[in-house]
């Protein structure tokens, strides 16, 4: 399978999803001024990290603003549109995952938050590291690349699902299961 080249030039059109045999597609999309996406619904799960810029996600009847560090979680079959702010086009990391990957892992996509997921700085860095590792792994084209891509994408999904769990726990009055601070120095005394 040919390896998708690393995106370096801004584009005015959405990137086409190209799935290798293992069912995980990863790419960067750097938007030029005037970039636009027509409404689309896909037969795969799409996770997008806003690396730079700002805009909105239109999904269903909603329009939710998004900015650097936000994750966009688009369920299988959901009509959506990513819209850039006029003066601040976005750069995105995009991971698309075929349903059979989820089925093989017994992972119900319903555990994922959907729409725009606000990430704190730590979570955004973790998600970005995961996506960059997927991008790197995809370029290796070794006999174990497919297995590693599936494993890394499942890890990414579990991390996002847990972020959603913490958000739900905090919003319903239950104590969050994680102690959040700006850095580990701040968290350690709270933990002790």
Q: Calculate mean pLDDT across residues 48-61.
A: 93
Backbone φ and ψ of 26, nearest 5°? -130, 135
Q: Which residue shows structure tokens 């990430």? A: 119
Q: Calculate mean pLDDT across residues 127-153.
A: 94
The per-residue pLDDT for 171 is 54
Q: Does the pLDDT value for residue 86 go beyond 50?
A: yes
- Burial (CB count within 10 angstroms: exposed 0-12, middle 13-18, buried 19+), residue 157: buried
User: Distance (Å, rounded) from C-alpha 41 to C-alpha 26?
Assistant: 18
The per-residue pLDDT for 141 is 84
The per-residue pLDDT for 105 is 92
> HSE-up of 188 (CA within 13 Å, CB side)?
3
Residues with Cβ within 8 Å of residue 104, at least 6 apart in sequence: 150
% of the chain with per-residue pLDDT over 70 = 79
Q: How confident is the model at residue 175 (pLDDT cuts 50, 70, 90)?
A: very low
């Amino acid at each position: 399978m040919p390896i998708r080249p690393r995106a370096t030039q801004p584009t005015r059109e959405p990137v086409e999803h190209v799935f290798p045999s293992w069912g995980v597609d990863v790419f960067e999309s750097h938007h030029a001024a005037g970039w636009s996406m027509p409404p689309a619904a896909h037969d795969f799960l799409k996770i997008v990290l806003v690396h730079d810029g700002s805009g909105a996600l239109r999904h269903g009847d909603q329009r939710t603003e998004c900015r650097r560090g936000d994750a966009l979680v688009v369920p299988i079959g959901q009509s959506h549109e990513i819209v850039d702010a006029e003066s601040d086009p976005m750069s995105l990391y995009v991971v698309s995952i075929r349903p059979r990957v989820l089925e093989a892992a017994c992972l119900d996509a319903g555990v994922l938050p959907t729409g725009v997921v606000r990430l704190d700085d730590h979570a955004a860095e973790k998600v970005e590291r995961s996506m960059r590792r997927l991008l790197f792994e995809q370029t290796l084209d070794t006999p174990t690349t497919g297995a590693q891509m599936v494993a890394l994408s499942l890890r990414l999904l579990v991390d996002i699902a847990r972020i959603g769990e913490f958000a739900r726990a905090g919003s319903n009055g239950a104590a969050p299961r994680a102690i959040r601070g700006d850095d580990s120095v701040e968290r350690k005394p709270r933990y002790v």
